[in-house]
Amino acid sequence: MNPETKGFLQRKFGDYYRKAPVGFPPQFQKREWAFVLFDSSYPKLVMRRHKAFGSQKEVRAYLGAVAPAHVYHSTACYAYPSATRMQDKKWEGADLIFDLDADKLLTKSVSSYAGMLQEVKDETTKLLDFLMNDFGFDEKDFSIVFSGGRGYHVHLREKKLVTLGSHERREIVNYLTGTGLEAEYLLKRSSKTAMPQDISCWEIRIKTWIDEYFKRIRGLDAKIAISELASVKAIGKRRAKEIVSTLSQDASVQPLVESKLIPLNAWKSLIREAISHLKVRIDVPVTADIKRLIRLPTSLHGGSGLRVTPLTLDRFRRFAPLNDAVVFGDSSVSVRILTPATTEIMGETIKVDQSTTELPEHTAVYLMARGLAEYESRRLKSD
Amino acid sequence: MDEYLALFPYTAAAARYVEASGRTFDSLMTAGEFSDSVLNKSVQRVAQAIDSDVHSKPLERDDDEIELFSYVMGRALVSCIRESVLVQRYANAEAHDAFTKLRNAGERLQDEYIARMLGDLGIPISADDNIFQLHFTDLIKYTGRLRGPQWRLVNRLNRGQVRLAKNEMIQVLAEAVRLKVLHGLPLKLSSKMCEELVPYTSPLRKAMSAVSLRPADSGPVSLEACPPCMKALLSQVKAGQNLSHPARFALTSFLANIGMKTEEIVHVYQTSPDFDYELTRYQVDHIKGASGKDYIPPGCSTMETYGNCTETIGLCKRISHPLSYYRARLKHQ
């Protein structure tokens, strides 16, 4: 990234910070702030840490004047947020954070940025369902934030949560990732548990998944159904045929469960299959870390120019990052393309290559921030 | 005096009683029948904590006031000895004691004790017909050290709540006692007070060195006795794979804690594709405590969270820390 491009991005970011209302985390005076600037080492990330601010005005003035590429605050509150050694800061509690990041969770390669964002959004939807259903949180207990890059952050600040230590947070992580769920234990337990309120939400999820699995099998052509069932460990072709015929006679899965048609090992592998589909692929160390830095919601992401966007549950459901997180307009900007690419900003698919010289500002900022283009100042010619 | 206070001297109610009694450190250090009995009993309390494998039989019950004040003085003794391993043992012993007393109480008393302790230790609960319902945040503070699938949230959580049977509630209360005692120690006592207690602390110190209550700095390193998780990490390194950061930290701190020298640990990593001698040496030194802080390797639950736990059967089922596995194996070699 050349100095002109950095200068351009910094000007644009500065314009944004001087006009846009910046959001503040609760108790922002007790948090450490950190910044990456558009300086000579950028895009190498040199973090300027251990800043603290006493008033919102100070923060706004700093952001407007410095126009950083990245803005972070600590998830923790400290008695002395600006102390330079962590042990001197005096930790007082920390938000519970979940990070869903495409880099960490994509199993298959998704070709486009937009496709990748959709997959992360689906995973975030799963997380929110766990938080509301299994953990009993209410919509007002969490805030959802588009990270401006490749995913979403979910912040929880409920009083009972902020004092949890790393160990306890890992227990929550293990829940979401299904770590420690053992098929054998679940089977043993479900045969003993008498009271329905003693069944865990995970058990209910697994049971529902298995019900739906068999419903789907029943809907398939017999031949395909048999071959799919036979591929489950310990079922085999002969049993698969019997199961398919049982399923065709009865609309519910219950008789199948009660019959001895499906051997124990097959149940186990179905349960494991269910867990791998149902678990949430969060970035584990982020949640377990009680002294983490996280992007300031409402700031700009220097690697994309997109806004780190706080969302209500309702807005999250309708959220389209490449529309709704765009803050720049469409006035024309001169660029030099370094790497050909396709962008899909503001519903407009643009293919850029070396012949492209002018782009709408939002797309130009995006490509420059990603290092795919440089800024070209329009020179006056005298000949 | 209310018997409850003598049985459970770490509760808030007991603390209020001690405060209101007007008895001071000085009055307890003044010779007399009562203070002699108290000091005698407090030494026994600490001695049992040092010695106990938690299976030793409970101390004989004294008069209620002696029981209560011997706990108070026991804390002073532990604080003056100032060994973190003793603080832990002491907390374990008190927790075990609480567990035994709760479990062995008759049903009516048991219910009363449980209810009072829940209030005293500030654990909000709704109880109904011997089922105790807790919010998950109140439970996970206490279940970190409890082993077994029944203690994992993943097997119990239902709409933010977990329902416990009475025997489980007692186990959780004992853990709450352990943490309360642990976090309350050591007390800040003047050196003058500790000097006066020397006649009582010095035999206890002797007892400690007799059972070698110190981190194992014993004998040669045995890779054979390492738990399966560490063996797996070692063979990954040998096979030239790069370890994740948590895995590398776990392995390094584990090897350091079983007594491997810096150079030997650096040598282990030599086959890593990204091996950098200076950097590795720096990291190992840092973990080994050159920076003034000793790192203990992560426990089993952390290993599990980061996907580095490889086995949950056999000896692994009975321990909660890779170092405990190693020590247990060494003992039986």
Nearest chain A Cα distance for residue B151, angstroms: 10
- Whose CA is closest to B124, among B161, B149, B155? B161
Nearest chain B Cα distance for residue A90, angstroms: 17
State whether A136 and B137 contact (CB < 8 Å).
Answer: no
State whether A136 and B159 contact (CB < 8 Å).
Answer: yes
- B177 in Cβ contact with B121 (< 8 Å): yes
Whether A99 is a known active-site residue: answer yes
Alpha carbon B333 to its chain centroid, in Å, reads 26
Identify the pLDDT of residue A233: 84
Tell me how long chain A is: 383
Range with the poorest average pLDDT among A81-95, B19-33, B46-60: B46-60
Of these ranges, A189-203, B110-124, B208-222, the one predicted with the greatest mean pLDDT is: B110-124
Whether A283 is a known active-site residue: answer yes
From the candidates A15, A95, A101, A103, give the one annotated as an active-site residue.
A101
What domains can you pick out in chain B, each with its CATH number? Answer: 3-210 (1.20.930), 223-331 (no CATH)
Identify the pLDDT of residue A111: 66
Say if residue B135's pLDDT is above 70: yes
Range with the poorest average pLDDT among B184-193, B235-244, B281-290: B281-290
Q: Tell whether A104 is within 8 A of chain B (Cβ).
A: no
Q: Mean pLDDT over residues B79-89, rounded?
A: 88
Q: Tell whether A186 is within 8 A of chain B (Cβ).
A: yes
- DSSP letters, B75-96, are HHHHHHH--HHHHHHHHHHHHH
Sign of the alpha-carbon dihedral angle for B112, B115, B118, B120: negative
| Preferred mutation among A200, A207, A275, A279 to probe B, highest tally of B CBs within 10 A | A200
Q: ipTM, 2 decimals? A: 0.87
Q: What is the spatial distance between Cα A134 and Cα B159, in angstroms, rounded to a whole number?
A: 4
- Whose CA is closest to B46, among B22, B6, B12, B82? B82
- Whose CA is closest to B151, among B131, B175, B130? B175
Of these ranges, A250-259, B183-192, B269-278, the one predicted with the greatest mean pLDDT is: B183-192
Instruction: Kindly list the residues from chain A whose CB atom is less than 8 angstroms away from the CB atom of residue B144.
Output: 167-168, 171
State whether A171 and B302 contact (CB < 8 Å).
Answer: no
For helices B166-183 and B107-120, give the axis angle rounded to 10 degrees. 40
Please write the tens of the pLDDT for every residue from B179-221: 999 999 999 999 999 999 999 999 998 888 776 544 444 567 8
Q: Using CB atoms, which residue from A160, A170, A185 is nearest to B305?
A: A170
Q: Using CB atoms, which residue from A135, A189, A199 is nearest to B160?
A: A135
Say if residue B51's pLDDT is above 80: no
Say if residue B258's pLDDT is above 50: yes
More confident residue, A55 or A249: A55
If you average pLDDT over every residue of chain B, what do you get?
A: 86
Q: What is the spatial distance between Cα A93 and Cα A74, in angstroms, rounded to a whole number?
A: 11
Helix (H, G, I), strand (E, B) or coil at B156: helix
Q: Tell whether A274 is within 8 A of chain B (Cβ).
A: no
If you average pLDDT over every residue of chain A, what do you get?
A: 91
From the candidates A99, A122, A141, A198, give the one annotated as an active-site residue.
A99
- A211 in Cβ contact with A253 (< 8 Å): yes
State whether B154 and A180 contact (CB < 8 Å).
Answer: yes
Identify the pLDDT of residue A292: 94
A229, amino acid identity: L
B293, amino acid identity: K
Say if residue B56's pLDDT is above 90: no
Q: Using CB atoms, which residue from A133, A174, A189 is nearest to B305?
A: A174
Q: Mean pLDDT over residues B113-130, rounded?
A: 90
Instruction: Kindly list the residues from chain A whose CB atom is less than 8 angstroms away from the CB atom of residue B313.
Output: none
Alpha helix segments (H runs only) across chain B: 3-7, 12-21, 25-29, 33-51, 64-81, 84-104, 107-120, 136-143, 153-156, 166-183, 191-210, 228-238, 245-257, 262-268, 277-288, 300-305, 315-318, 322-331
Q: Using CB atoms, which residue from B143, B163, B306 is nearest to A284?
A: B306
Cis previous bond, A43, omega within 30: yes
Nearest chain B Cα distance for residue A155, angstroms: 16
Which residues is A151 bridged to in the sheet? Answer: A101
Say if residue A176's pLDDT is above 90: yes
Report A:296-355 residues touching B (Cβ under 8 A).
Answer: none
- A172 in Cβ contact with A287 (< 8 Å): yes
Which pair of structure tokens corresponds to residue B194?
């500790």
Q: Using CB atoms, which residue from B144, B153, B155 is nearest to A167?
A: B144
Report A:123-152 residues touching B (Cβ under 8 A).
Answer: 133-137
Whether A330 is a known active-site residue: answer no
* DSSP percent split of chain A into helix, strand, coil, nearest 5: 45, 20, 35
In chain B, the residue whose alpha carbon lies closest to the alpha carbon of A184 is: B149
Kindly indicate the confidence band of residue A19, based on its pLDDT and cuts at 50, 70 and 90. very high
Instruction: Kindly list the residues from chain A whose CB atom is less than 8 angstroms away from the CB atom of residue B308.
Output: none
- A127 in Cβ contact with A154 (< 8 Å): yes
Please write the tens of the pLDDT for every residue from A306-345: 999 999 999 999 999 999 999 999 999 999 999 999 999 9
Percent share of chain B, pLDDT over 70: 93
Say if residue A195's pLDDT is above 70: no
Say if residue A379's pLDDT is above 70: no
- DSSP letters, B212-242, are T-S----SS--GGGS-HHHHHHHHHHHTTPP
In chain B, the residue whose alpha carbon lies closest to the alpha carbon of A175 is: B154
Strands A341-345 and A373-375: unpaired
State whether A172 and B141 contact (CB < 8 Å).
Answer: no
Q: Which residues, other chains included, contact B4 with Cβ-Cβ below 8 Å and sequence gap of 6+?
A: B11, B13, B112, B113, B116
Kindly indicate the confidence band of residue A104, based on its pLDDT and cuts at 50, 70 and 90. confident
Q: Using CB atoms, which residue from B141, B156, B304 is nearest to A179?
A: B304
Q: Which residues, other chains included, contact B332 with Cβ-Cβ below 8 Å and sequence gap of 6+?
A: none
Kindly indicate the confidence band of residue A264, based on its pLDDT and cuts at 50, 70 and 90. confident
Residue whose entry in the numeric block shows the structure tokens 């009582």:
B200
Kindly indicate the confidence band of residue A350, based on its pLDDT and cuts at 50, 70 and 90. very high
Q: Mean pLDDT over residues B42-62, rounded?
A: 75
In chain A, the residue whose alpha carbon lies closest to the alpha carbon of B161 is: A135
Q: Mean pLDDT over residues B145-171, rounded?
A: 91
| Preferred mutation among A159, A163, A167 to probe B, highest tally of B CBs within 10 A | A167
